[in-house]
Chain A
């Protein structure tokens, strides 16, 4: 594994993760469908997981890979709560578009 990392270079892993992370950020900021926004958040978290594994190999240290399990479990719990909120919104207004959530202003 270390050999492959030497050939590719850790920088390229960082660039890939940053690109994926930015795709996630733009998804959160610009998409209006709540499900797609959730998927964008997952892309952000998974970009970080990828980088954790790459750094873990780079340092020859298992902690990074263990952290990935934590962050995956947390992401699953987070999305479960988010989907529950989304279901209650859908029951109230019959739509999952974020544009409908404009009652609070001032």
Chain B
């Protein structure tokens, strides 16, 4: 709870810095503030409490994921210093929007009431619409913002309808009350319909097949830093919230009571397989790196959805997988930001010869792509290993076989970029060594490798 208040206060301070003309100091001060919030959040870990009539329910799950979101936001704020150097007068707005977005994200994982869930998802989405369209003179960014706005508010409407039907069936918005009454024998048909609508809305936000069609366009058109935010923070938030909704409302037991559990599992397996396969196969033929990472994100969403099959046991595995994926994503995007800062597109040709001109950045990008593909010593490999192990124990061997095949396919397009960096001749000069971009890339990939060497650090947090 204190985390949420502190983040909102920090966002307001960011806006005040604009008035006080402290724009130069805004990035370091915000990073320090976020580190303070991280410490505050760490102090709350382990204390199960609820505030304001159970509007906010702090649990291990919510604090652990909030810490992940705060760390990701620190990286994204650090990257914004160089990204917005052409717009020095607007940097406080961009940073403030990112901090408010973090407030929405924290509200989304620590809700105790569906009203708070809805507010959190809207705070996150509205901030993202603004960021997606923030390059306002660029028609591509406008288009991305508009498409994201239309799809996002459409999904919000569906989620709202789902909340409404659940309220109609239960007579309450409170998650713990819903948790209890979800087990009663005679529930109106509205309850499962409402659940389905909410899950569909959340799958829109996660960008899982068949609700993924907006993702590649929006990722390609948005400014690169916003794409980084969407593909790491927003995706992780959405999948964590979906997980919390399903475990918090006791959906599995309730569906089991009504003999719908098997249908639910079949649907999750189908969506998961479709997301992995469509994402990977479409990614093979992309030349734009942002678009390729969008499809890679769709396939990772498919992997993460596998955690929904073993809800009672897989919170720790989901946290580990999302951390590994998001850290690799931040490292990859910080290199992309450096390479493509003077270009109006992000084609693979821009990366030719990066291994000769900037060996460190090329190594970091290679490491992050290998982590996403699931090659050992990087945490991406162990994340997939634990997730597959969990899923096999629950008896979904077929799904795991498809997932392994998909991991092998994904190596294909990751290596396309790696080969372009190392085997082609440099086609341009790359000057300057922006400290914050290098620092972000090194720290995030170091964290990724550290988690790969000591998986239990994160994995045992939620036991």
- Identify the A interface with B (CB < 8 A): 10, 14, 17, 21, 24-25, 28, 34, 37, 41, 44-45, 47-48, 51-52, 55, 58-59, 61, 63-64, 66-67, 70-71, 74, 77-78, 81-82, 84-86, 88-89, 92-93, 98, 101, 103-106
Residues in B neighbouring A85, C-beta threshold 8 A: 129, 133, 142, 145-146, 149
In the complex formed, the residue of A with least CB distance to B171 is A59
- Does B157 reach chain A (CB closer than 8 Å)? yes
User: Within the complex, which residue of A45, A70, A82 is in contact with B119, where a contact is CB–CB below 8 Å?
Assistant: A70
Task: Mark B215-244 against chain A: 1 for CB-CB distance below 8 A, else 0.
Answer: 011001100000000000000000000000
- Does B149 contact A81, Cβ atoms closer than 8 Å? yes
Number of A-B contacts (CB under 8 A): 123
Q: A87 CA to B111 CA in the complex, in Å?
A: 35
- Does B167 contact A48, Cβ atoms closer than 8 Å? no
- Does A101 contact B149, Cβ atoms closer than 8 Å? no
- Does A93 contact B139, Cβ atoms closer than 8 Å? yes
Contact A101 B164, CB 8 Å, known A41-B157, A81-B126, A85-B133: no
User: Within the complex, which residue of B136, B157, B172 is in contact with A88, where a contact is CB–CB below 8 Å?
Assistant: B136
Q: A63 CA to B288 CA in the complex, in Å?
A: 48
- Does B115 contact A103, Cβ atoms closer than 8 Å? no
- Does B384 reach chain A (CB closer than 8 Å)? no
Residues in B neighbouring A45, C-beta threshold 8 A: 157, 160
- Does B286 contact A101, Cβ atoms closer than 8 Å? no
Contact A106 B286, CB 8 Å, known A52-B167, A78-B156: yes
The secondary-structure label for the interface of chain A is: helix
In the complex formed, the residue of A with least CB distance to B142 is A89
Task: Mark B270-305 against chain A: 1 for CB-CB distance below 8 A, else 0.
Answer: 000000000000000011100100000000000000
Q: A71 CA to B126 CA in the complex, in Å?
A: 13
- Does B137 reach chain A (CB closer than 8 Å)? yes
- Does B173 reach chain A (CB closer than 8 Å)? yes
Contact A51 B164, CB 8 Å, known A81-B130, A88-B136: yes
Extra contacts, 5 of them, besides A81-B126, A103-B143, A106-B220 (Cβ < 8 A), are: A45-B157, A52-B164, A85-B146, A92-B137, A103-B139
- Does B147 contact A101, Cβ atoms closer than 8 Å? yes
Residues in A neighbouring B118, C-beta threshold 8 A: 67, 70-71, 74
Residues in A neighbouring B163, C-beta threshold 8 A: 67
Q: A80 CA to B36 CA in the complex, in Å?
A: 33
User: Within the complex, which residue of B129, B143, B168, B216 is in contact with A101, where a contact is CB–CB below 8 Å?
Assistant: B143
Residues in A neighbouring B265, C-beta threshold 8 A: none
- Does B349 reach chain A (CB closer than 8 Å)? no
In the complex formed, the residue of A with least CB distance to B285 is A106
Residues in B neighbouring A88, C-beta threshold 8 A: 133, 136, 142
Residues in B neighbouring A86, C-beta threshold 8 A: 146
Q: A84 CA to B99 CA in the complex, in Å?
A: 21
Residues in A neighbouring B144, C-beta threshold 8 A: 104
The secondary-structure label for the interface of chain B is: helix
Residues in A neighbouring B142, C-beta threshold 8 A: 85, 88-89, 92, 101
Residues in A neighbouring B167, C-beta threshold 8 A: 52, 55, 63-64, 67
- Does B154 contact A41, Cβ atoms closer than 8 Å? yes
- Does B122 reach chain A (CB closer than 8 Å)? yes
User: Within the complex, which residue of B126, B139, B154 is in contact with A92, where a contact is CB–CB below 8 Å?
Assistant: B139
- Does A63 contact B157, Cβ atoms closer than 8 Å? no
Q: A14 CA to B216 CA in the complex, in Å?
A: 36
Residues in A neighbouring B22, C-beta threshold 8 A: none
A78 to chain B, nearest CB (A): 5
- Does B153 reach chain A (CB closer than 8 Å)? yes
Residues in B neighbouring A14, C-beta threshold 8 A: 168, 190
A64 to chain B, nearest CB (A): 6
Q: A93 CA to B143 CA in the complex, in Å?
A: 11
Contact A101 B146, CB 8 Å, known A51-B168, A74-B118: yes
Residues in B neighbouring A103, C-beta threshold 8 A: 139-140, 143, 221
B245 to chain A, nearest CB (A): 17
- Does B146 contact A21, Cβ atoms closer than 8 Å? no
Residues in A neighbouring B173, C-beta threshold 8 A: 63, 67
Contact A78 B160, CB 8 Å, known A52-B167, A85-B146, A103-B140: no
* Most chain A beta carbons < 10 A, residue from B115, B160, B217: B160
* Most chain A beta carbons < 10 A, residue from B150, B164, B167: B164
- Does A48 contact B157, Cβ atoms closer than 8 Å? yes
In the complex formed, the residue of A with least CB distance to B145 is A85
> Could you show 17 A-B contacts with beta carbons less than 8 Å apart?
A14-B190, A44-B154, A45-B157, A64-B167, A67-B115, A67-B173, A71-B118, A78-B126, A78-B129, A81-B129, A82-B153, A84-B130, A85-B149, A101-B147, A103-B139, A103-B143, A106-B216
A38 to chain B, nearest CB (A): 9
- Does B161 reach chain A (CB closer than 8 Å)? yes
B323 to chain A, nearest CB (A): 30
In the complex formed, the residue of A with least CB distance to B149 is A82
Residues in A neighbouring B168, C-beta threshold 8 A: 10, 14, 51, 55, 58-59
Residues in B neighbouring A59, C-beta threshold 8 A: 168, 171
